[in-house]
Structure 1
Amino acid sequence: MKTTLFSLALAFLGVTANPTRRAIDDDTVLNFALTLEYLEADFYAGALKKFNAQAFAAAGFPAWVHGRFVEIGQHESAHVEFLQKALGSKATQKCSYSFPYTDPKSFAALSQVLEGVGVSAYAGAAQFIKNPDYLTAAASILPTEARHASWIAAAVNSFSPWSGPFDAPLGLSSVYHLAAGFIVPGSCPSTNPSFPVKAFPSLLFDKAVPGSTSAITYDKSASNSDQVYVAYFTGLQTLFEKVTNGHVLVPSSLSGQVYAVVTTNSKAATDADIVAGPAVLVFERDSKGNLIKA
């Protein structure tokens, strides 16, 4: 059941948009963060309105789980208010969102993935922040998001609370690709600022298991190269594997939440190289590093 819930959550990620590219400044980074915080705040508000404490109990969760999710939702709303105040009249506005949860268990599974993406988003965007006050604020939000992700993974979903000694930072385009799957097309106000991101086609793995090969599916017309590779973002490492006849090796060392993209370069995975993805892959291991098959 756990594998099924995560598959449903991950399969929804990957719808792209067509934003306009422009320079990255502090306002751009803060508005990018605000876009993600709007999404997360709406995610919790909608689910907790639909599923009360009794629904969580009926799904088999301890009584305290619902209350903690309420707290997380309050944190996300506080992040929204903080960023709105920092940006003032430059603040982007909310869009409408759609999430594929159907019950408290699928909500919890998707929550774990979203919080992990949020951690990777803040880690990846930090390099662009020039104002030290903004950097400090982002550094304050980041560990809170990480605490959310760890609590949901370990206490709620019985997963490892971390992916390893480092989290994987993600670029703006990769984060936007993942977030756009939950934004209702055409729902964002036309006055919202554009983001300097590139839209990528989706990437799907047939069956990703560390140490084995998997078939992958993506729009091959997006690449002008006969040879492509899959780059796996895991912690501060990027591992590259050659794609052969539509199949690729899933490295045996992968653990926790990993991101994968198709790239034309065997040594780089920048926006100029990526042709599809990222896909989100989740691999659970025990404290001795053994892969757990749910």
Structure 2
Amino acid sequence: MAVKSPLLAWAVTLLCAHVRAAPASLVPPHYSGEAQRLADPTYGPIPGQSDLYNYYWGTDRPFPGNISDPIFPTQKGPPGVDDWVWQNLLSAEWLIFEFYQQGIEAFTPQDFVKAGMPNTTYRRLMEIRNNEAGHLRIFQNQISPTSIKPGRCQYRFPFTEPVGYMALMTVLEISSMAFLTGLVQLPKLDFNKGAMLAIAEVETRHEVWALLDIWKADPFGGPSDTIFPFAGEILDSTNAFIVPGSCPHENPEFPHNRQRLPALSAGKDTVSLTPGSRISLHFDDPRNQPYFNKRIQYYAVFFHATASISVPVNTRHWPREEIWVTIPRNFETKGVIVACVADRQGAPTKESVIAGPAVILEQPATLATALLRGKSG
């Protein structure tokens, strides 16, 4: 790939200045080793110390997004106590980075202006892409030298025009916020909890920009963002964007201890997804449908802010009859609601969840129903 930016040219020169290779016994014989330079955390532009992650305006993938292979361990020994959490996060970050990169490649600044968006939209997306490249490098560096650092897969996103792209961006960013409130509960080390909180704050800024400038919506999500405790279940839903068989075979399972739950959404005839709306539950993948034991009472569990509300559902005649439920009226029409189906009130453990989760936008609420019907504006 030609280096089209002077900033990138400088970065490549710096990268070649020092390399720490993995011991030969830890690297497969067939491996080319380009990515192995990244095992050294001081190699390349450092997030927080380089303007690459803020002010690079090229269309080529910025470092380290231009190096797609996994990074093999440089030391033998047990994995770091939080390595699996950072591996999950790095695998998810590859997907988010690629989403922004594909948008930058697919559209021009004029495409967004013609769609009625501000003339700064394309440059803001580039800045977010740069932030996500910085996240890649941060996550790589947080995984210990005794564990593999996942590489990039191939991704396919369902957008064809700018409005649809920005709609999907809104869903991904707000889902990231709900996901991170669960993920931050998993690390054992306090520093890692703080580092993940710092990333969540950046993702919130991205979402606030989209709500204000793109959707002209109130960016305030109420006094608390939504806490969903099972981060891996939200991550698992992003596997729908990964081209099957495209991930490096050395990558660890994504997410760790994957549950492969049936996907959940509201029926496409849904008129509204605001609190108090009555909706039917739809399980999107015909190859992965839930099993309901007739002797068990099941619940639709709705998480919003710091609370959850469980609503009993009648599953006895499913799939002959649809399962209907009313979104709790108690919730404010702010932020996001995360819903799942569980075999226990409150979904107290991840094992109690049998389908979902579904992320329901409340801001802008009209976008949530438009997306459900396969529309974007």
TM-score range, shorter chain: 0.7 to 0.9
Other-structure match for 1:289:
none
Other-structure match for 1:200:
261
Other-structure match for 2:119:
63
The 5 A counterparts of 1:71-82 are 71-82=127-138
Distance in 2 of aligned mates of 1:95 and 1:285 = 31
- How far apart are 1:61 and its partner, in Å? 0.8
Other-structure match for 2:275:
210
Secondary structure in structure 2 of the residue aligned to 1:63? coil
For structure 2, list consecutive stretches of 5 or more residues without a partner in the other structure. 1-78, 315-321, 371-377
For structure 1, list consecutive stretches of 5 or more residues without a partner in the other structure. 1-22, 287-291
8 Å CA contact 1:177, 1:277 repeated in 2:
no
Asked which structure has the greater RCO (Cα within 8 Å, sep 6+), the reply is 1
Other-structure match for 1:258:
337
Secondary structure in structure 1 of the residue aligned to 2:156? coil
8 Å CA contact 2:118, 2:213 repeated in 1:
no
- How far apart are 1:269 and its partner, in Å? 4.5
The 5 A counterparts of 1:14-33 are 25-33=81-89
Other-structure match for 1:227:
297
Q: Which amino acid aligns with 1:95?
A: C
8 Å CA contact 1:264, 1:273 repeated in 2:
yes
Q: Which amino acid aligns with 1:127?
A: Q
TM-score (norm 1): 0.83
Distance in 2 of aligned mates of 1:97 and 1:220 = 24
The 5 A counterparts of 1:140-289 are 140-170=198-228, 171-194=230-253, 195-206=256-267, 207=270, 208-218=273-283, 221-225=290-294, 226-244=296-314, 246-252=323-329, 253-255=331-333, 256-284=335-363
Taking a change above 3 Å as real, the CA distance of residues 269 and 154 of structure 1, as seen in their structure-2 partners, is: farther
**Cα offsets for 1:58-89 (capped at 9, x unmatched):** 11111111111110010001100121233256
Give 1 or 2: higher helix fraction: 1
Taking a change above 3 Å as real, the CA distance of residues 46 and 57 of structure 1, as seen in their structure-2 partners, is: same
Q: Which amino acid aligns with 1:139?
A: L
Q: Does 1:136 align with 2:194?
A: yes
Secondary structure in structure 1 of the residue aligned to 2:356? strand
1:85 to 138, 141, 155: 141
Total equivalences in the alignment? 267
**Cα offsets for 1:203-231 (capped at 9, x unmatched):** 12122342131111236643335432111
Q: Which amino acid aligns with 1:247?
A: W
8 Å CA contact 1:122, 1:138 repeated in 2:
yes
- My pick for the range that moved more, 106-115 or 185-194, is 185-194
- How far apart are 1:129 and its partner, in Å? 1.4
- My pick for the range that moved more, 180-189 or 47-56, is 180-189
- How far apart are 1:120 and its partner, in Å? 1.9
8 Å CA contact 2:341, 2:353 repeated in 1:
yes
Other-structure match for 2:171:
113
TM-score (norm 2): 0.66
Q: Quick check: which has more Rg, 1 or 2? A: 2
**Cα offsets for 1:156-209 (capped at 9, x unmatched):** 122332432112233133222222121112111111122123121011212234
Distance in 2 of aligned mates of 1:293 and 1:107 = 16
**Cα offsets for 1:4-23 (capped at 9, x unmatched):** xxxxxxxxxxxxxxxxxxx9
Distance in 1 of aligned mates of 2:199 and 2:290 = 39
Q: Which amino acid aligns with 2:351?
A: A
- RMSD, aligned α-carbons: 2.4
% identical equivalent positions: 29
8 Å CA contact 1:177, 1:278 repeated in 2:
no
- How far apart are 1:293 and its partner, in Å? 9.2
8 Å CA contact 2:290, 2:355 repeated in 1:
no
Other-structure match for 1:36:
92
Distance in 2 of aligned mates of 1:197 and 1:152 = 31
Distance in 1 of aligned mates of 2:352 and 2:311 = 14
- My pick for the range that moved more, 258-267 or 40-49, is 258-267
